[in-house]
Amino acid sequence: MTGTLRLVVVPNDPIGLYEQSGYDNLGQYFNPTGMFHEVIVLSPLEQGGRQAHGMLIRGVSEREFGRVLGQVRPDVVRAYSGRWPADLACRNRIEGIPVIVSVHDDRQGLMHPSLRYADLVICMSSIVKQQVRKVGVEIGRIRVLPNRVDTTRFHPISDPNILAIVDKQFPPGKHILHVGRRTRQKNLDTLIRALVLLPPEYSCVFVGMGDKLPYVALAEELGVGPRCFWLDTVKNSELPSWYSWCDCFCVPSRFEGFGTVFIEAAACGAPIVTSDIPPMNDYLIPDVSASLVRDYEQPRALAGAIRRVCDDNEYRHRISGGGVRVAQQRFDQRIVDAAEAAIYREALSLPLPSITRRLEITRWKGQEALRFYARQPRKLIARSRLWKQAKSYLNLVRS
């Protein structure tokens, strides 16, 4: 593998949303170890083109994606999601250019059949791997790669002057930190109900995007509205001080692929309270690196775990230190980046698919193209080169 390597990335969200959420190291995230000399984001969610984070970010319609991909001629295509990015990358795959799809969520409804036609599928955890298998992806094409944390940036902070910057924003007392989207998955409602059972000096800081109104209404109804604080985002560079500041980090997810926030919190020594479900209990050891709650939808059980973490100094220090060790030994960015780069090298050295698989891919691409163009205006269909190509794909397979 010599010369200039080019990577095309198809993210699940607009790059602007990553930026708005506080991510400031996207170049390193999308290009681990810097092995690619050029990274191009192609997405129907983008408008126009711009240079940012060492990448070219270019808006491309779904209809034009295949043509533009053929012009770019990357060495690898990487889709970040088993949904429409996987559909787009696999439906427009070019022979000799490997397609890698990463799946971050364990919900089967977010995994499309197109995953079967990727060369390699990266799963964030064993539970995600199990669900990907159910979609029909062969075990030999699945690689498990956890999220990562830059331990040079995310580490325990003890400087009182830095911690005071966060502390002065909230009233004195015990502070519970929840970082995650405001969705049912992240179980904010049970945490709010648990706050009712905790002493009045306990408060909860919710950091994350999404509709807060239902949760604000619930907190007001239960009489803990003044003890709940709502922030849409915190800069990624500032998060280590927030994790180090809190008395308890609690995201009791109902289901999870294994979010980055757990790893970041662990690396910063935040005492973690979360659900006793995979993949959290794959990586975090009960009472050693986290407090894992089996009845995570029961406010009383959650409140009891939070109070133990906040009131029992010996216990808090034990799981805090255990979390730091887990982050350093299993999720350090250098370790995970090297593993991801190895997956890219593997993809670059893959042989062409067998004739049987190539026919299978060709048939599926033709079916997908016909479905896509069946939704387009007839004038567009009549003049479309890809429409004719789709029909020829099916004729080839039928012959």
Instruction: Dig out the tokens for 141 from the structure.
Output: 């094409």
In angstroms, rounded to a whole number, what is the distance separating the alpha carbons of residues 136 and 82? Answer: 13
Q: Are residues 18 and 96 in the same domain?
A: yes
Q: Are residues 188 and 315 in the same domain?
A: yes
**Has residue 1 been placed in a domain?**
no
- Contacts made by residues 215-224, CB under 8 angstroms, sequence distance 24+: 215/182, 215/188, 215/189, 218/189, 218/192, 218/193, 219/192, 219/195, 222/192, 222/193, 222/195, 222/196, 223/196, 224/192, 224/195, 224/196
pLDDT band at 395 (very low <50, low <70, confident <90, very high): very low
**Has residue 154 been placed in a domain?**
no
**Has residue 172 been placed in a domain?**
yes
Which pLDDT score is estimated for 186? 96
In this model, does residue 357 exceed pLDDT 90?
no
Residue range of the domain that includes 246: 160-331
Q: Which of 166, 238, 237, 235 is nearest to 205 (CA)?
A: 166
Sort 292 into a burial class: Cβ within 10 Å, 0-12 / 13-18 / 19+.
Answer: buried
- What 8-state DSSP symbol labels residue 55? E
Q: Which of 311, 322, 238 is nearest to 288 (CA)?
A: 322
Q: Are residues 342 and 369 in the same domain?
A: no
CA distances from 339 to 5, 97, 125, 198, 262 (A): 18, 20, 14, 43, 20
Q: Are residues 83 and 114 in the same domain?
A: yes
pLDDT in tens, 194-239: 999 999 999 999 999 999 999 999 999 999 999 999 999 998 889 9
In angstroms, rounded to a whole number, what is the distance separating the alpha carbons of residues 75 and 187? Answer: 41
Q: Are residues 217 and 326 in the same domain?
A: yes
Q: Would you call 272 helix, strand, or coil by DSSP?
A: strand
- Please count the structural domains in the chain: 3
pLDDT band at 391 (very low <50, low <70, confident <90, very high): very low
Which pLDDT score is estimated for 383? 45
CB atoms within 10 A of CB 46: 17
CA distances from 49 to 40, 52, 92 (A): 10, 10, 21
In angstroms, rounded to a whole number, what is the distance separating the alpha carbons of residues 239 and 52? Answer: 22
In this model, does residue 332 exceed pLDDT 60?
yes
**Has residue 155 been placed in a domain?**
no
**Has residue 142 been placed in a domain?**
yes
Residue 58 — left, alpha, or beta (φ > 0 → left; ψ -120 to 50 → alpha)? Answer: beta
Q: Are residues 344 and 381 in the same domain?
A: no
Question: Strand pairing of 202-207 and 55-59?
Answer: unpaired
CB atoms within 10 A of CB 95: 9
Which pLDDT score is estimated for 399? 36
Count CA atoms within 13 Å of residue 362 on its CB side.
18
User: What's the CATH code of the domain at 297?
Assistant: 3.40.50.2000
**Has residue 345 been placed in a domain?**
yes
CA distances from 219 to 62, 75, 182, 398 (A): 42, 51, 14, 61
pTM for this structure? 0.79
Which pLDDT score is estimated for 341? 96
Residues 88/78, Cβ–Cβ less than 8 Å = no
Q: Are residues 143 and 271 in the same domain?
A: no
In angstroms, rounded to a whole number, what is the distance separating the alpha carbons of residues 293 and 254? Answer: 11
Share of the chain above pLDDT 70, in %: 92
Instruction: Dig out the tokens for 101 from the structure.
Output: 């799809």
**Has residue 292 been placed in a domain?**
yes
Mean pLDDT of the chain: 90
CB atoms within 10 A of CB 41: 25
Q: Are residues 224 and 345 in the same domain?
A: no
Q: Which of 295, 66, 94, 38 is nearest to 187 (CA)?
A: 295
In angstroms, rounded to a whole number, what is the distance separating the alpha carbons of residues 388 and 370? Answer: 9
Q: Are residues 199 and 314 in the same domain?
A: yes
Residues 328/155, Cβ–Cβ less than 8 Å = no
Report which secondary-structure segment, H or E, holds 39: strand 38-43
Q: Are residues 105 and 12 in the same domain?
A: yes
**Has residue 28 been placed in a domain?**
yes
Which pLDDT score is estimated for 125? 87
Q: Are residues 71 and 88 in the same domain?
A: yes
- Averaging pLDDT over each range in 43-57, 250-264, 344-358, 384-398, which range is the top one? 43-57
Q: Are residues 136 and 200 in the same domain?
A: no
In angstroms, rounded to a whole number, what is the distance separating the alpha carbons of residues 41 and 88? Answer: 13
pLDDT band at 170 (very low <50, low <70, confident <90, very high): very high
